Chains A and B, each alone.
Chain A
Amino acid sequence: MLEGLVSPENLSLSYADMSVPERLKWLQQHQQQEVLSLSSNDSPDLLQILQFHGSNNDELLQSTFSHFQMVGSGFGTNYNMGFGHSHEAMDGCISRTSSCQIHPPDTMGVMLKNSEENRAISLKNKRKSEVKTREEEKTEKKIKVEAETESNISNKEASSDTSKETSKGASQIQKLDYIHVRARRGEATDRHSLAERARREKISKKMKYLQDLVPGCNTVTGKAGVLDEIINYVQSLQRQVEFLSMKLAVINPELELGVEDLSVKQFQAAYFTNFPVVIASKPSVMVDVPLFPLDQQGSLNLSVSNPNQTSIDAPSESWETQSQSLFASVLR
Protein backbone atom coordinates (compact mmCIF):
# COMPACT_ATOMS: atom_id res chain seq x y z
CA MET A 1 0.00 0.00 0.00
CA LEU A 2 2.52 2.45 1.07
CA GLU A 3 5.32 0.87 -0.78
CA GLY A 4 4.04 1.91 -4.10
CA LEU A 5 3.78 5.50 -3.06
CA VAL A 6 7.36 6.06 -2.45
CA SER A 7 9.92 6.27 -5.12
CA PRO A 8 13.48 5.80 -4.07
CA GLU A 9 14.84 8.23 -6.54
CA ASN A 10 12.99 11.20 -5.24
CA LEU A 11 13.89 10.54 -1.71
CA SER A 12 17.51 9.98 -2.39
CA LEU A 13 17.96 12.87 -4.70
CA SER A 14 16.24 15.31 -2.51
CA TYR A 15 18.63 14.51 0.21
CA ALA A 16 21.30 16.89 -0.69
CA ASP A 17 23.37 16.76 2.41
CA MET A 18 25.52 13.80 1.85
CA SER A 19 26.64 11.90 -1.16
CA VAL A 20 24.47 9.11 -2.29
CA PRO A 21 26.86 6.22 -2.01
CA GLU A 22 27.96 7.16 1.45
CA ARG A 23 24.44 7.39 2.62
CA LEU A 24 23.53 4.13 1.07
CA LYS A 25 26.39 2.31 2.60
CA TRP A 26 25.82 3.76 5.96
CA LEU A 27 22.19 2.94 5.79
CA GLN A 28 22.90 -0.60 4.82
CA GLN A 29 24.80 -1.01 7.98
CA HIS A 30 22.35 0.60 10.23
CA GLN A 31 19.06 -0.44 8.96
CA GLN A 32 19.59 -4.01 9.86
CA GLN A 33 20.23 -2.98 13.38
CA GLU A 34 17.19 -0.81 13.39
CA VAL A 35 15.04 -3.51 12.00
CA LEU A 36 16.24 -5.84 14.63
CA SER A 37 15.63 -3.34 17.33
CA LEU A 38 12.15 -2.71 16.13
CA SER A 39 11.22 -6.23 15.37
CA SER A 40 10.05 -6.77 18.87
CA ASN A 41 7.37 -4.16 18.53
CA ASP A 42 3.89 -5.02 17.46
CA SER A 43 3.63 -2.85 14.50
CA PRO A 44 3.87 -4.85 11.39
CA ASP A 45 2.99 -1.97 9.18
CA LEU A 46 5.76 0.20 10.35
CA LEU A 47 8.12 -2.66 10.25
CA GLN A 48 7.18 -3.31 6.72
CA ILE A 49 7.75 0.26 5.80
CA LEU A 50 11.06 0.26 7.53
CA GLN A 51 12.17 -2.83 5.78
CA PHE A 52 11.13 -1.53 2.48
CA HIS A 53 12.68 1.80 3.07
CA GLY A 54 15.80 0.13 4.15
CA SER A 55 16.63 -0.16 0.57
CA ASN A 56 16.07 3.47 -0.01
CA ASN A 57 18.26 6.27 0.81
CA ASP A 58 16.34 7.83 3.56
CA GLU A 59 18.02 8.09 6.83
CA LEU A 60 15.81 10.69 8.24
CA LEU A 61 12.71 8.72 7.60
CA GLN A 62 14.16 5.77 9.36
CA SER A 63 15.21 7.75 12.32
CA THR A 64 11.80 9.23 12.55
CA PHE A 65 10.25 5.83 12.39
CA SER A 66 12.38 4.51 15.15
CA HIS A 67 11.73 7.48 17.23
CA PHE A 68 8.11 7.17 16.45
CA GLN A 69 8.14 3.64 17.69
CA MET A 70 9.76 4.62 20.85
CA VAL A 71 7.49 7.48 21.55
CA GLY A 72 4.30 5.69 20.74
CA SER A 73 1.72 5.60 18.13
CA GLY A 74 -0.26 8.38 19.64
CA PHE A 75 2.40 10.73 18.58
CA GLY A 76 1.69 10.03 15.04
CA THR A 77 -0.17 13.13 14.12
CA ASN A 78 2.51 15.42 15.38
CA TYR A 79 5.07 13.62 13.38
CA ASN A 80 3.01 13.76 10.32
CA MET A 81 2.65 17.43 10.62
CA GLY A 82 6.29 17.92 10.42
CA PHE A 83 6.74 15.66 7.54
CA GLY A 84 5.71 16.99 4.30
CA HIS A 85 3.14 18.56 2.20
CA SER A 86 0.97 15.85 0.99
CA HIS A 87 0.62 13.03 3.34
CA GLU A 88 -2.19 11.09 4.83
CA ALA A 89 -2.08 10.51 8.50
CA MET A 90 -3.00 7.07 9.52
CA ASP A 91 -3.23 5.36 12.80
CA GLY A 92 0.15 4.30 13.69
CA CYS A 93 1.38 4.66 10.17
CA ILE A 94 3.08 7.34 8.33
CA SER A 95 2.13 7.71 4.77
CA ARG A 96 4.13 9.30 2.08
CA THR A 97 3.40 10.17 -1.45
CA SER A 98 5.73 10.48 -4.28
CA SER A 99 5.81 14.21 -3.92
CA CYS A 100 6.66 14.06 -0.31
CA GLN A 101 9.58 16.21 0.54
CA ILE A 102 11.72 15.33 3.42
CA HIS A 103 12.76 18.26 5.43
CA PRO A 104 16.38 18.76 6.06
CA PRO A 105 17.57 17.56 9.37
CA ASP A 106 17.44 20.85 11.15
CA THR A 107 13.68 21.04 11.19
CA MET A 108 13.38 17.75 12.85
CA GLY A 109 16.41 18.34 14.86
CA VAL A 110 14.51 19.21 17.96
CA MET A 111 12.83 15.90 18.18
CA LEU A 112 15.58 13.77 16.92
CA LYS A 113 18.52 15.63 18.20
CA ASN A 114 20.29 12.87 19.94
CA SER A 115 19.83 10.20 17.41
CA GLU A 116 20.54 12.57 14.59
CA GLU A 117 23.71 13.83 16.10
CA ASN A 118 24.89 10.38 16.80
CA ARG A 119 24.19 9.35 13.33
CA ALA A 120 25.85 12.36 11.78
CA ILE A 121 28.92 11.94 13.87
CA SER A 122 29.11 8.30 13.21
CA LEU A 123 28.67 8.89 9.55
CA LYS A 124 31.52 11.31 9.47
CA ASN A 125 33.70 9.02 11.45
CA LYS A 126 33.00 6.08 9.30
CA ARG A 127 35.31 5.65 6.41
CA LYS A 128 34.95 3.28 3.58
CA SER A 129 37.31 0.85 5.13
CA GLU A 130 35.24 0.50 8.23
CA VAL A 131 32.22 -0.06 6.17
CA LYS A 132 33.99 -2.77 4.42
CA THR A 133 35.13 -4.45 7.54
CA ARG A 134 31.59 -5.07 8.73
CA GLU A 135 30.30 -8.54 8.84
CA GLU A 136 29.03 -9.59 5.53
CA GLU A 137 26.36 -12.00 6.38
CA LYS A 138 24.15 -9.23 7.68
CA THR A 139 24.44 -7.11 4.64
CA GLU A 140 24.33 -9.78 2.07
CA LYS A 141 20.89 -9.08 0.76
CA LYS A 142 21.29 -5.38 1.14
CA ILE A 143 24.32 -5.40 -1.01
CA LYS A 144 22.41 -7.10 -3.71
CA VAL A 145 19.62 -4.60 -3.51
CA GLU A 146 22.08 -1.82 -3.30
CA ALA A 147 23.81 -3.03 -6.36
CA GLU A 148 20.58 -3.14 -8.24
CA THR A 149 19.41 0.26 -7.24
CA GLU A 150 22.81 1.78 -7.49
CA SER A 151 23.21 0.76 -11.03
CA ASN A 152 20.34 3.02 -11.88
CA ILE A 153 21.28 5.98 -9.84
CA SER A 154 24.93 6.03 -9.30
CA ASN A 155 27.92 7.38 -11.05
CA LYS A 156 31.13 5.55 -11.74
CA GLU A 157 32.50 6.00 -8.26
CA ALA A 158 29.58 4.41 -6.63
CA SER A 159 29.56 1.54 -9.02
CA SER A 160 33.14 0.80 -8.29
CA ASP A 161 32.29 0.84 -4.63
CA THR A 162 29.53 -1.62 -5.14
CA SER A 163 31.67 -3.78 -7.28
CA LYS A 164 34.13 -3.80 -4.44
CA GLU A 165 31.40 -4.59 -1.98
CA THR A 166 30.07 -7.32 -4.14
CA SER A 167 33.55 -8.56 -4.54
CA LYS A 168 33.86 -8.56 -0.80
CA GLY A 169 30.80 -10.66 -0.42
CA ALA A 170 31.76 -12.79 -3.32
CA SER A 171 31.88 -15.93 -1.37
CA GLN A 172 28.20 -15.57 -0.72
CA ILE A 173 27.10 -13.79 -3.84
CA GLN A 174 28.23 -15.69 -6.84
CA LYS A 175 26.84 -13.59 -9.55
CA LEU A 176 30.14 -12.15 -10.75
CA ASP A 177 33.25 -14.00 -11.66
CA TYR A 178 35.90 -11.43 -10.95
CA ILE A 179 39.23 -11.54 -9.32
CA HIS A 180 38.52 -10.19 -5.90
CA VAL A 181 40.71 -7.59 -4.41
CA ARG A 182 40.25 -5.84 -1.14
CA ALA A 183 40.79 -2.14 -1.31
CA ARG A 184 42.54 -0.91 1.74
CA ARG A 185 42.05 2.35 3.46
CA GLY A 186 43.14 5.35 1.50
CA GLU A 187 43.74 3.50 -1.72
CA ALA A 188 42.33 4.39 -5.08
CA THR A 189 39.24 2.61 -6.14
CA ASP A 190 38.97 2.81 -9.90
CA ARG A 191 38.95 -0.29 -11.93
CA HIS A 192 42.38 0.29 -13.31
CA SER A 193 44.08 0.55 -9.99
CA LEU A 194 42.17 -2.45 -8.77
CA ALA A 195 43.48 -4.50 -11.64
CA GLU A 196 46.92 -3.13 -11.05
CA ARG A 197 46.77 -4.05 -7.44
CA ALA A 198 45.61 -7.57 -8.22
CA ARG A 199 48.48 -7.95 -10.62
CA ARG A 200 50.95 -6.62 -8.12
CA GLU A 201 49.71 -8.97 -5.45
CA LYS A 202 50.12 -11.91 -7.76
CA ILE A 203 53.65 -10.86 -8.53
CA SER A 204 54.53 -10.44 -4.89
CA LYS A 205 53.15 -13.88 -4.15
CA LYS A 206 55.47 -15.33 -6.74
CA MET A 207 58.35 -13.34 -5.35
CA LYS A 208 57.71 -14.88 -1.97
CA TYR A 209 57.80 -18.33 -3.49
CA LEU A 210 61.09 -17.53 -5.17
CA GLN A 211 62.40 -16.23 -1.90
CA ASP A 212 61.81 -19.62 -0.36
CA LEU A 213 63.47 -21.31 -3.26
CA VAL A 214 66.67 -19.33 -3.33
CA PRO A 215 68.86 -19.86 -0.30
CA GLY A 216 69.81 -16.79 1.58
CA CYS A 217 66.95 -14.69 0.39
CA ASN A 218 65.14 -14.62 3.67
CA THR A 219 67.34 -12.01 5.20
CA VAL A 220 66.95 -9.57 2.39
CA THR A 221 63.89 -7.40 2.37
CA GLY A 222 62.33 -5.62 -0.52
CA LYS A 223 61.69 -6.72 -4.02
CA ALA A 224 64.91 -5.39 -5.43
CA GLY A 225 67.07 -7.21 -2.94
CA VAL A 226 65.32 -10.48 -3.49
CA LEU A 227 65.61 -10.04 -7.23
CA ASP A 228 69.30 -9.32 -6.79
CA GLU A 229 69.79 -12.52 -4.90
CA ILE A 230 67.86 -14.51 -7.43
CA ILE A 231 69.87 -13.12 -10.29
CA ASN A 232 73.12 -13.88 -8.56
CA TYR A 233 72.00 -17.35 -7.69
CA VAL A 234 70.94 -18.18 -11.22
CA GLN A 235 74.20 -16.83 -12.55
CA SER A 236 76.23 -18.86 -10.12
CA LEU A 237 74.27 -21.98 -10.94
CA GLN A 238 74.87 -21.48 -14.61
CA ARG A 239 78.55 -20.92 -14.02
CA GLN A 240 78.71 -24.08 -11.99
CA VAL A 241 77.10 -26.06 -14.76
CA GLU A 242 79.59 -24.67 -17.20
CA PHE A 243 82.49 -25.52 -14.99
CA LEU A 244 81.29 -29.03 -14.41
CA SER A 245 80.74 -29.63 -18.08
CA MET A 246 84.24 -28.39 -18.69
CA LYS A 247 85.52 -30.94 -16.25
CA LEU A 248 83.38 -33.58 -17.81
CA ALA A 249 84.82 -32.80 -21.18
CA VAL A 250 88.28 -33.36 -19.83
CA ILE A 251 87.67 -36.64 -18.10
CA ASN A 252 85.13 -38.01 -20.45
CA PRO A 253 87.38 -39.95 -22.78
CA GLU A 254 88.98 -41.78 -19.92
CA LEU A 255 85.66 -42.70 -18.57
CA GLU A 256 84.61 -44.23 -21.79
CA LEU A 257 87.82 -46.15 -22.14
CA GLY A 258 87.19 -47.77 -18.86
CA VAL A 259 83.72 -48.67 -19.91
CA GLU A 260 84.87 -50.33 -23.07
CA ASP A 261 87.56 -52.27 -21.39
CA LEU A 262 85.43 -53.68 -18.70
CA SER A 263 82.38 -54.29 -20.71
CA VAL A 264 84.33 -57.04 -22.35
CA LYS A 265 85.54 -58.48 -19.11
CA GLN A 266 82.96 -59.27 -16.53
CA PHE A 267 79.81 -57.56 -17.47
CA GLN A 268 77.19 -59.17 -15.42
CA ALA A 269 79.37 -60.54 -12.73
CA ALA A 270 80.74 -57.14 -11.99
CA TYR A 271 77.28 -55.74 -12.02
CA PHE A 272 76.03 -57.98 -9.28
CA THR A 273 79.03 -58.66 -7.13
CA ASN A 274 80.40 -55.21 -6.93
CA PHE A 275 77.21 -53.59 -6.01
CA PRO A 276 77.51 -53.85 -2.25
CA VAL A 277 81.08 -52.61 -2.42
CA VAL A 278 80.05 -49.78 -4.57
CA ILE A 279 77.21 -48.81 -2.33
CA ALA A 280 79.45 -48.83 0.66
CA SER A 281 81.92 -46.55 -0.98
CA LYS A 282 79.33 -44.15 -2.15
CA PRO A 283 78.61 -42.37 1.07
CA SER A 284 82.13 -41.20 1.43
CA VAL A 285 81.99 -39.69 -1.98
CA MET A 286 78.73 -37.98 -1.27
CA VAL A 287 79.90 -36.45 1.90
CA ASP A 288 82.89 -34.87 0.30
CA VAL A 289 81.09 -33.16 -2.49
CA PRO A 290 81.72 -29.45 -2.12
CA LEU A 291 79.72 -26.82 -3.81
CA PHE A 292 82.59 -25.79 -6.00
CA PRO A 293 84.91 -28.70 -6.56
CA LEU A 294 87.87 -26.45 -6.95
CA ASP A 295 90.01 -28.62 -4.78
CA GLN A 296 89.82 -31.38 -7.30
CA GLN A 297 91.11 -29.38 -10.17
CA GLY A 298 94.62 -30.45 -9.65
CA SER A 299 93.78 -33.99 -8.85
CA LEU A 300 92.05 -35.26 -11.91
CA ASN A 301 92.78 -38.91 -12.04
CA LEU A 302 93.02 -39.64 -15.66
CA SER A 303 93.74 -43.30 -15.30
CA VAL A 304 90.95 -45.48 -14.22
CA SER A 305 92.82 -47.77 -11.93
CA ASN A 306 90.48 -48.23 -9.07
CA PRO A 307 88.64 -51.48 -9.58
CA ASN A 308 85.66 -50.25 -7.67
CA GLN A 309 85.14 -47.36 -9.92
CA THR A 310 85.72 -49.24 -13.08
CA SER A 311 83.32 -51.90 -12.05
CA ILE A 312 80.78 -49.21 -11.57
CA ASP A 313 81.34 -47.77 -14.92
CA ALA A 314 81.36 -51.00 -16.79
CA PRO A 315 77.71 -51.66 -17.32
CA SER A 316 76.05 -48.49 -18.34
CA GLU A 317 72.75 -49.37 -16.76
CA SER A 318 74.24 -50.17 -13.42
CA TRP A 319 76.26 -47.02 -13.56
CA GLU A 320 73.19 -45.05 -14.24
CA THR A 321 71.30 -46.52 -11.39
CA GLN A 322 74.28 -45.92 -9.21
CA SER A 323 74.41 -42.32 -10.18
CA GLN A 324 70.74 -42.01 -9.71
CA SER A 325 70.78 -43.51 -6.30
CA LEU A 326 73.60 -41.17 -5.54
CA PHE A 327 71.61 -38.27 -6.80
CA ALA A 328 68.63 -39.36 -4.83
CA SER A 329 70.54 -39.30 -1.62
CA VAL A 330 72.16 -36.03 -2.50
CA LEU A 331 68.86 -34.48 -3.29
CA ARG A 332 67.23 -35.52 -0.05
Chain B
Amino acid sequence: MERQTINKNKRVFSAEPTKLSPSEVFTRKYTSHLVPALKKLNMDKNSPQINQLTVKHEVDMALALSAQEFAWSRFLLEKLSSSNNPTTTISSSSNGTRIPERSCKEDEDGEIEEKLRELQKLLPGGEEMNVEEMLIEIGNYIKCLELQTSALKSIVQDTT
Protein backbone atom coordinates (compact mmCIF):
# COMPACT_ATOMS: atom_id res chain seq x y z
CA MET B 1 0.00 0.00 0.00
CA GLU B 2 1.17 3.45 -0.79
CA ARG B 3 0.46 4.59 2.67
CA GLN B 4 2.97 2.17 4.00
CA THR B 5 5.71 3.46 1.78
CA ILE B 6 4.86 7.01 2.62
CA ASN B 7 4.88 6.52 6.32
CA LYS B 8 7.72 4.14 6.78
CA ASN B 9 8.77 5.40 10.15
CA LYS B 10 5.31 5.64 11.48
CA ARG B 11 2.86 2.94 12.24
CA VAL B 12 2.40 0.48 9.47
CA PHE B 13 -1.12 0.14 8.33
CA SER B 14 -1.06 -3.16 6.59
CA ALA B 15 -3.77 -5.71 6.22
CA GLU B 16 -2.41 -7.43 9.27
CA PRO B 17 -1.18 -4.84 11.68
CA THR B 18 1.23 -6.08 14.28
CA LYS B 19 1.75 -3.18 16.62
CA LEU B 20 -0.98 -0.70 17.26
CA SER B 21 -0.97 2.13 19.65
CA PRO B 22 -3.88 2.30 22.05
CA SER B 23 -5.46 5.20 20.22
CA GLU B 24 -5.31 3.31 16.99
CA VAL B 25 -6.76 0.26 18.62
CA PHE B 26 -9.56 2.30 19.99
CA THR B 27 -10.30 4.00 16.73
CA ARG B 28 -10.39 0.75 14.88
CA LYS B 29 -12.70 -0.77 17.38
CA TYR B 30 -14.86 2.26 17.35
CA THR B 31 -15.33 2.41 13.65
CA SER B 32 -15.82 -1.30 13.44
CA HIS B 33 -18.62 -0.98 15.93
CA LEU B 34 -20.19 2.14 14.65
CA VAL B 35 -20.23 1.66 10.93
CA PRO B 36 -22.02 -1.67 10.84
CA ALA B 37 -24.43 -0.35 13.42
CA LEU B 38 -25.20 2.64 11.27
CA LYS B 39 -25.59 0.45 8.27
CA LYS B 40 -27.91 -1.79 10.17
CA LEU B 41 -29.93 1.22 11.17
CA ASN B 42 -30.28 2.17 7.59
CA MET B 43 -31.16 -1.28 6.44
CA ASP B 44 -33.82 -1.75 9.02
CA LYS B 45 -35.59 1.52 8.67
CA ASN B 46 -35.39 2.52 5.10
CA SER B 47 -38.44 4.67 4.86
CA PRO B 48 -38.77 6.40 8.18
CA GLN B 49 -36.25 9.03 8.91
CA ILE B 50 -33.47 7.91 11.06
CA ASN B 51 -33.99 9.27 14.47
CA GLN B 52 -31.27 11.50 15.69
CA LEU B 53 -31.44 9.93 19.08
CA THR B 54 -30.92 6.47 17.76
CA VAL B 55 -27.81 7.56 15.95
CA LYS B 56 -26.60 9.14 19.13
CA HIS B 57 -27.41 5.93 20.88
CA GLU B 58 -25.32 4.01 18.41
CA VAL B 59 -22.53 6.47 18.71
CA ASP B 60 -22.44 6.13 22.46
CA MET B 61 -22.77 2.40 22.25
CA ALA B 62 -19.81 2.22 19.94
CA LEU B 63 -17.84 4.32 22.35
CA ALA B 64 -18.69 2.11 25.26
CA LEU B 65 -17.91 -1.05 23.37
CA SER B 66 -14.59 0.20 22.16
CA ALA B 67 -13.31 1.16 25.57
CA GLN B 68 -14.30 -1.75 27.71
CA GLU B 69 -11.15 -1.69 29.75
CA PHE B 70 -12.30 1.42 31.50
CA ALA B 71 -14.75 1.65 34.32
CA TRP B 72 -16.82 4.41 32.82
CA SER B 73 -17.63 2.34 29.78
CA ARG B 74 -19.40 -0.18 31.96
CA PHE B 75 -21.57 2.51 33.41
CA LEU B 76 -22.24 3.88 29.98
CA LEU B 77 -23.29 0.50 28.69
CA GLU B 78 -25.62 0.06 31.58
CA LYS B 79 -27.22 3.37 30.95
CA LEU B 80 -27.60 2.67 27.28
CA SER B 81 -28.99 -0.79 27.69
CA SER B 82 -31.42 0.27 30.35
CA SER B 83 -33.18 2.64 28.04
CA ASN B 84 -33.93 2.51 24.35
CA ASN B 85 -33.68 6.19 23.99
CA PRO B 86 -30.35 7.48 25.09
CA THR B 87 -30.34 9.21 28.41
CA THR B 88 -29.59 12.84 28.75
CA THR B 89 -26.31 12.38 30.51
CA ILE B 90 -24.28 13.11 27.46
CA SER B 91 -26.61 15.60 25.95
CA SER B 92 -25.62 19.20 25.76
CA SER B 93 -25.02 20.16 29.28
CA SER B 94 -27.15 22.59 31.15
CA ASN B 95 -24.10 24.61 31.97
CA GLY B 96 -23.76 26.26 28.66
CA THR B 97 -21.76 29.07 30.18
CA ARG B 98 -18.21 28.75 31.29
CA ILE B 99 -17.75 28.19 34.95
CA PRO B 100 -16.59 31.44 36.52
CA GLU B 101 -13.25 31.52 38.21
CA ARG B 102 -13.13 31.38 41.91
CA SER B 103 -13.05 34.76 43.50
CA CYS B 104 -12.62 34.00 47.13
CA LYS B 105 -9.70 31.99 48.38
CA GLU B 106 -11.40 31.07 51.57
CA ASP B 107 -13.89 28.94 49.74
CA GLU B 108 -11.16 27.36 47.71
CA ASP B 109 -11.55 23.89 49.05
CA GLY B 110 -15.30 24.04 48.84
CA GLU B 111 -15.16 25.26 45.27
CA ILE B 112 -12.70 22.64 44.29
CA GLU B 113 -14.94 20.00 45.74
CA GLU B 114 -17.86 21.44 43.89
CA LYS B 115 -15.96 21.30 40.66
CA LEU B 116 -14.89 17.77 41.30
CA ARG B 117 -18.51 16.88 41.80
CA GLU B 118 -19.41 18.48 38.52
CA LEU B 119 -16.70 16.55 36.81
CA GLN B 120 -18.13 13.45 38.35
CA LYS B 121 -21.48 14.25 36.83
CA LEU B 122 -19.95 14.56 33.40
CA LEU B 123 -18.29 11.22 33.57
CA PRO B 124 -20.64 8.27 33.20
CA GLY B 125 -20.61 6.50 36.50
CA GLY B 126 -18.42 9.15 38.00
CA GLU B 127 -20.63 9.68 40.96
CA GLU B 128 -20.07 6.18 42.15
CA MET B 129 -16.31 6.46 42.23
CA ASN B 130 -14.14 8.19 44.73
CA VAL B 131 -12.14 11.20 43.73
CA GLU B 132 -8.87 9.49 42.94
CA GLU B 133 -10.48 6.89 40.72
CA MET B 134 -12.55 9.53 39.06
CA LEU B 135 -9.55 11.58 38.11
CA ILE B 136 -7.91 8.61 36.46
CA GLU B 137 -11.07 7.69 34.63
CA ILE B 138 -11.60 11.25 33.46
CA GLY B 139 -8.23 11.10 31.77
CA ASN B 140 -9.21 7.98 29.87
CA TYR B 141 -12.59 9.38 29.07
CA ILE B 142 -11.15 12.55 27.63
CA LYS B 143 -8.78 10.59 25.44
CA CYS B 144 -11.56 8.37 24.16
CA LEU B 145 -13.82 11.31 23.56
CA GLU B 146 -11.14 12.95 21.49
CA LEU B 147 -10.65 9.83 19.43
CA GLN B 148 -14.36 9.42 19.01
CA THR B 149 -14.67 12.99 17.84
CA SER B 150 -12.02 12.61 15.22
CA ALA B 151 -13.49 9.30 14.09
CA LEU B 152 -16.92 10.81 13.68
CA LYS B 153 -15.44 13.76 11.89
CA SER B 154 -13.71 11.54 9.42
CA ILE B 155 -16.81 9.49 8.83
CA VAL B 156 -18.79 12.61 8.19
CA GLN B 157 -16.08 13.99 5.99
CA ASP B 158 -16.00 10.83 3.99
CA THR B 159 -19.57 11.07 3.03
CA THR B 160 -19.83 14.75 2.23
Contact = CB atoms under 8 A, between A and B. Distances in A.
A208 to B, nearest CB: 10
Contacts of A253: 42, 46, 49-50
Contacts of A207: 135
Contacts of B150: 327, 330-331
Contacts of A230: 119, 138, 142
A249 interface: yes
Contacts of A285: 157-158
Contacts of A330: 150, 153-154
B145 interface: yes
Contact of A248 (B51, B123, B155): B155
A320 B122 contact: no
A259 B160 CA distance: 14
B59 interface: yes
A98 to B, nearest CB: 53
- A232, A258, A312 interface centre (most CB from chain B within 10 Å): A232
- A202, A246, A275, A331 interface centre (most CB from chain B within 10 Å): A331
Nearest to B34: A248
B128 interface: no
B118 A231 contact: yes
Interface in B7-44: 7, 10-11, 13, 23-24, 27-28, 31-32, 35-36, 38-39, 41-43
B101 interface: yes
Q: How large is the interface on B (under 10, 10 to 19, 20 to 34, 35 or more residues)?
A: 35 or more
Contact of A241 (B1, B24, B152, B154): B152
Interface in A190-232: 199, 202-203, 206-207, 209-210, 213-214, 223-225, 227-228, 230-232
- B39, B119, B152, B159 interface centre (most CB from chain A within 10 Å): B159
Contacts of A326: 154, 158
Contacts of A210: 135, 138-139, 142
26 contacts: A224-B111, A227-B116, A228-B101, A231-B119, A234-B122, A234-B141, A235-B93, A241-B145, A241-B152, A242-B91, A246-B56, A249-B52, A252-B50, A253-B50, A289-B153, A293-B153, A299-B160, A312-B158, A316-B39, A321-B13, A322-B158, A324-B24, A327-B31, A328-B24, A328-B27, A331-B147
